[in-house]
Structure formats: structure tokens, C-alpha cells
Structure 1
Amino acid sequence: MSKVAGTVATLPGGGEPSSPVQKVWKPELYKIQLDAPAPNPVRCQRILEDNNQAVRLYGSEYHGLMGHLEAEQLLSNASDGSYLVRRSPKSDGYYTLSVRFNKRTKHYKVFYKTGPGQGHGHYLREQDKHYETVHEMVADGLINFHMQLHASPIIQQINQQTKNCYQQSPYMTLNRRKLRALSNEMGKSSVSASVSVDDCDANTTTVADIPVDNPLISQQVTQQQLPPQDPMPLVYEKPHNFKVHTFKGLNWCEFCANFLWGFTAQGVKCEACGFMAHNKCSELVPPKCVPDLKCIRGVFGTDLTTMVQLHQCNIPFVVRRCVEEVEARGMLQEGIYRVSGFADEIDALKLALDRDGDKTDMSEAAYGNVNVIAGTLKLYLRLLPVPLITFQAYPSFMTAGRNAKQTEQLQLMAEAVRRLPPAHYSCLQYMLEHLKRVASHYAVNKMNEHNLATVFAPTLIATPQHMTNLTEEIFMLSSLITHCETIFASSSSSSSTS
């Protein structure tokens, strides 16, 4: 990284040469899903003489007895995502769902089953997913239609992945140090077990006699070694126990790094370790299940909204603790946020935060170089699957930044921040106000608003992949830092009056 004040060398995709972990998540499928049409029920405008059961099941989008030609005519001028439920003239034991997509109307037989457990609700075929409401069924269907139409090359590429991807997967990338430590512990325990067995009968016992009921250690654990770069050098085998799972919030496949798209049953999750993957990707994951992954999975690389909901807070503790430490002893540090800390120390602090959470010791005694704290904060923000300035809000921020009239620019920026999800809104405000305070010490630390924007633009903004010229993004972020108080005050007052 450049040592010259106000400049920073960056890599495509927002990585930094000195970073211990580069950006791992692939946002393309997520951005495609954002454009999927939303369900839009077409309400029935006439009084029905149909049975009450259908009205109870489907509500006002139920249109009673209606043929497919009449349904197509009713939906012919409707927007994509519009749908209705009807009873076909020759139906027997089912109703028909008519959905508009890609300027065409599709018709499906829809059924309903009552009963406890997961096998109840609305469904299309007996072996299909079941939904609490038809609205959920349509939402899931529209996403899948949209992905098939616009994301087929990416999905095809995912289906052609090989097992070689595992070593470069987000799971390995984010947890490398923790997996290595766990592997060393397993190695010690397995060697101890092997020695005790040999003591009992050195002449008759072989490695193959090690009990197979130890799920972590394979028969070759004390003999065979993987390449040294593997974070888990000991060879062991324990198959994953993958089950189809409906994920809440935004989640990414830990094998291929692509988004788990869909509304329900987006992929699979291992019941023993929590490994999340697409169905197809799960078939390629090696049998290296590490039970109780809760002890391994941390906060880095987890969606921001998920984090604040999980910890019941407005600002993730990683951001809060790092900011507090920088403000306590780094405000007068020349080149703060531009000068990098040592990568191995940043990686060690990342491990500590993942393991110990808010109780992590970040004092000067533990991390004397405040640039390590600053680097860890940048790393956390860089690894967010959805950047702080989200993909959806990014165009609005850029439009505002291009406006030459400051009054209009600030008004547009206030509108842009209102487009952010609550967790992103609060965290962005917190970070901008912090950077504003850092810039106020420019005379000493040599980091004004523009210099800070140059450093943070690849980290905070959802820039297009492989984009290297961030001149406009830097200018926009610099303006955000400079006028953050005005922008968020205006945004807050507009929200309260609307």
C-alpha cells in the first residue's frame, strides 16, 4: 500500500495488497434477484357464488369459476408478477394459479394440505415445496423464473464446479487460522490415542485398528499429510449431514461464494456443523465435517442485518470496538487508515473477535500498533456480503454525487441514505461521523475527507466488479463525510414527516 498521504493502491474488487483476507463473496446472483418482479395479486371485483373454503384459502385474489382464456385476457395488460387464483371449469380437487411473467401468462394446478409438520400448506405437486400462503409461493416462483432467465450462465458454472474450489472457498478463507488450530488439537489427541493403543499391544495393533466411531479421525490420520497450505493438514473424514433448509435473511454458499437465491428452501445446511451450500455444491464438499461449527463460525463475512438482529444492537460490536479504540489512541496517528498494520496481527485480532466477541482484549497492551485495529475494521467492512452502501442504493448515491449544486446534492444524498436497510443506515452514519472526527485532526494525521474517502471507497461502496477507477465514488464519499451531519439530520426529519 502506498505510503503517500491521500493515495492508496487497491486491487480489483476492492481488496488491498496487505489484507490477510481478500473479498470472498460474489454478489452477481444477489443483484439479479433484486430485479425479480414482486408478487402483485389481482383482486376480484365481483361477488362470488363459490364455496367459502376457496375464499378462506386464497382471499380476494380468488376469482371463482374462470377459464384460462378469460384469465389470460384479464392479465394481458398486467405487470409481471401479477397473479390470481381461479377454479377451472373441468377441475377436480384443485384450483388454478395464473401468473404473469415475461409478458406471458403461466397456469399451474395448486393444491392445499392441512396437518402438522412441514408437509402442509399450498403446493403445486406432492413432492414440491409447501407454502403458508399463495403469495409466498408466487414470490418464490417469480425469483426462480427470473434466475432461470437471467442467471443461467452463472448457475451453469456453479453446477460445473470441482472439488478444487474447497480450498479457496469462503469457509476455508474466513476460518483458516481457527481450522489450523483445531487441526493441531485433533492431531495431539489422535497421537495420544495412538500411543496408548500401541502400549496395549504393539505387535497386533495397526493404524487401521483405530476405532471408526471417532468421527473426526480417519484411519490415515497419523500417517498421511495434506499439502502444507491446507489449513487442516490432518486428513480426517466425517461426512456432512446436509438437510434442505430455508434460510432467513441473506446467505451465501460457503463452497462457491455465490448467493443462495430464492424465497424458501434455498439450499442445504449440515445439521452437525452448519455448513451452508447450494444443493449441487453440497455434492462436491469433501467429507470434512467439523461438528459444532458454532465454535468456529464468527462475525466476519456475516450479513450486517443478520449481525445486528443476532446481537440485538444498532452497531456491530466489531465496528464499535474498533472505532472506540482508534478514537482513543489513533486520531493523531499520521496516515491512520492508510498505513497498514501487519497482516498476521490483523488476522490474529480477527480470530480473537470471532472467538471472544465483545470481550476481546483490544487494549494497547494487546495490540500496540493502532493500525492493526484500523486494518481489522476495514477488513470487517470489506468482508460484508452486502456492502455498507448497498447494491440497491448505490445508483442513488452516485446520482447525488454528480449533482454540481450543493443544496440539491445534499438533498439527494439524504434521499439516498433513506434507501438503506436500517442496519446499514445506522452503521453508515456511525462510520461517517467517525471519519469526520478523524478528518478534523488533518493537521496532524494528514488524513482529510478526500484521503479517507480514497481509502474507504472500495470498502464501503458496492462498486461494480473489476472497477479500478473510483474517482466519482471517492468524490461522492468525500462529500458524504464532509456533510454527514446535515445529510442524516435531513434524512431523519424527512422520515419523521412522511
Structure 2
Amino acid sequence: MARRTSDSRNRQYTQVMPVPQTPSSSEVSEEEIEPTYQWKSHLYNLQQEAPNPKRIVCLFPTDNKPAHYGREFHGAIAREEADHLLTQGGEGSYLVRESQRAPGSFTLGLRLNHSTKNFRLYYDGKHYVAEKHFDSLHDLVADGLITLYVEAKAADYIKSMESEPIYEKHSRYATIRDKRISNGAVLPTSGSKQVPIQDQVDARTAVLDNAVTSASYEKAHNFKMHTFKGLNWCEYCGNFMWGLIAQGVRCTDCGLSTHKQCSKRVPLDCTPDRRLIKRVYGVDLTTLVKAHGTTRSIVIDKCIEELETRGLDIEGLYRVPGMQDDMDLCRQRFDKDGANAKISAKDFPDINVISGALKMYLRQLPIPLVPFEMYDRFMMAAKIQDPTERLEATHNAMNELYNIKPAHYHTLKHLINHLNRVVQQKNVNKMSAENVGIVFGPTLLREANDQTIMDNLYLLQYQKKVVEIMVENPDIIFEK
């Protein structure tokens, strides 16, 4: 296996290396971004020093050898015999033996740092001893030798490596974030020309305070374990990410790559890349608005514009369902084209398709428009008997929502103002505040845990009441 060549051993990674291209940096020119990172080479050098795997071949026939093991399998030999073979084999040598006390259980023995180490070995289509799964036993051993060697030689260094980060000084993400804030929140456009946000907003977004932009929204990174190809350095601490697979974590929304332990120190400054966000429906709302450079949901904005153009006087608006095939097509257009999705009367003559697509979007949000952590606050407010106190409690809960999830707040505000205009036409569309509450209550307010049918029936009246209060008093509820 070509794990480490002599050329790669001799390369010096103490040099200043170019910043990797930032996917989400289209709004900031390359000249404006900090030009270099100072990568730290200590852990890379240790990986290069780690011994290569050397299989101890069994010279005798073995009974009941599993098909997924090769000549490194020595049968049910004693631990002492395995240790003797590995000691003779030297650093990096390995073998597999069957347990004499527990037939059917297998142990991987390998030699490192002048001692023998034994691990319970498993196979489920891939080889593993812990979380990492490998296609071949050779790769498992190679990765294990690297990991054990590096972590033994640099235990104290690894424990403290995130204490001297390069992130705040050199991070492309921090640089882009600061540029947005200091330069009047310039948002990404489809072309290369940078257009200030004031020139991008249209009639649907003009009502917003133009000082508020999605660039100011805090968002946690969505880190997942990741296998990196080639040589990679942590973008938080600047140290090498050692191992053959699952060397660290990568944010699936913006591409930031760090050690697992360093990811816990990264600030809430994720700037999602639209090329990584493959769809619109079913995507976290804050992720979506930051990826598209908007203040609130593009689906809600565009559907409301269409509904208010040709649907406010339609009887049963939001109550009468549209055809499922058409709603699915509408969803597909948003997923493919985003804010450019075509949903006009020419494309979807039935306005109930548009209202159905809006409700489908809300139902598929992984975090509902009223987030899980705010559910109890709004429900408790709805249970207050005194109307004045109930309104004040709902207003206070909305202010808290503004502070913790501004994307949800601005989207909810736009939706509620729209529903207020729907209710103003109740004489023709037959949609009172109560009817709107029945339709939207369970969609806007969902508990994290599933409830029984009886629980749902009990909670429905308060979910409905929350929406009623908002729809009847938007000026008070959303007053800052």
C-alpha cells in the first residue's frame, strides 16, 4: 500500500502554505482575504516516523480460518506465543489469533514502541476494533500504527494543541464574516459583480430593517466525521490531521475541516456554501438563509407574493388542498432553482398548489418555525386566562425568539403578517383567525417528542390559540 513514499517523507510542511479556496467567499475578492496560513508540522513528521505494517505469516495449516483473514491468521495460539512472534517481527509487525478461552473471538496483536498490544477484532463486512471500519486488515493496522504512535509521542501536545489556534487570525471564515459586517453586508450574487444588499432587495423584503442581514446570524457548524484524501491540516489549530481515515470532522454546510476536539472550540460563524446545500425543502432555516444571502426563507417569500397576488379572495385558502403531484413539482422547482423557481399562474393555475407547497415547506423544516426550545414558552403564554397578560407573555416569548433564532423570527413575522391579511378577507375566503390557527398551529408549533393522540388533541387547542393571538395582534406581538 502506497501510504508514505520517500518523496512525501522528505517534503517540508513547515513552510507557509496558501489558504484553501473558500467555497462561500464569492462576495470577497481574493486580495481581501488573509493570504496565508502557518501550518504546524510536528504531527505530520510523527506520522511519517510511524512504522509500516509487517504481516507475520503463519507457516502452518490452520483449522477453521475465517474467509476474511489471510496468512496473518495463526489459529488458537497462546498469548505468549503470539508475543514471541511479534517480538521477533519487530516494530509494526502484526498477526491475528483465535481466543483459546472463547472460540469464535479473534484478537489482533501488533508490535509498537517495543511492546505488544492486543485488541479484540471484529468483522461485519469490514474490519474494525473501535469506531473506524476498514476494507482490509492491512489498512486497519496501518491506521492503528499511525494513531498509536502519534498519540503516544505527542500526548501532551495533542491535549493542548487547540489552545493556540490560528483560526481567529487566519481563518478565511472569520475574514469573510468581518468583511461583510464592515462593508455594509454585501451579499453574494449570481454574477461576479458585488451588489450591496440595498440594491438587491425587492418589494417583498423592503419592509425589513436593512441593517439586519443573514451575515449577522449566528449558526453552529454541522460537523460530521470525515475521511480526507491526501494531506490535511486542521483549520482551527493549524496542526496536521493524522491517520488514514476519519482523521477529523468537516462541516457539511461550509466545508470547514478540523480535528474532532478542535471543533468544540469553533465559534458559531458557519457561512454555508450553496454548492454544499443541495436543496431547499427539509433544510435548516438558518442554514438556508445564510447560504442564499437572504434574511428569511425564500420559499415563504415567493409563495406569499404569489398568494397575495391572486389568492386572498379564494374561498378555503390554506384549507383546501392542492394536487399532490403539482405540489411535489413546485417543491422540486424550489430545490433546483431556489428564488428563481417559476410558480406563476401560468405554471400552477390552481392557487391551492402554492398554499400547499408553503405548508409542505413548513412541515419539512427540521426545526419548526417556532423552535423546539421555544415551544413551552409560547404554549404557557396561550394558557394564561387574562387577555392582556396573555398578549404580553406572547410578546416576550417573541422577543426571546428574535434573540436566539433571528431567521425564524423574521420568517415567522412575514408569515403572520400575511395571515393577518388573509383574515382581513375572511368574508370572502372564509378563513377566520380561528381557522388559520387550526391549519397552522400544529405546523408552526411541534414538540421534539411524539405525543399520543389524546395528548395531541389536548395540545391542539393551545397551538391554535398561539397562532390566533399572533394573527390578531401582529403589530403588538412583533413590536421591538
Scaled by the length of structure 2, the TM-score of the pair is: 0.45
Structure number with higher relative contact order (C-alpha < 8 Å, ≥ 6 residues apart): 1
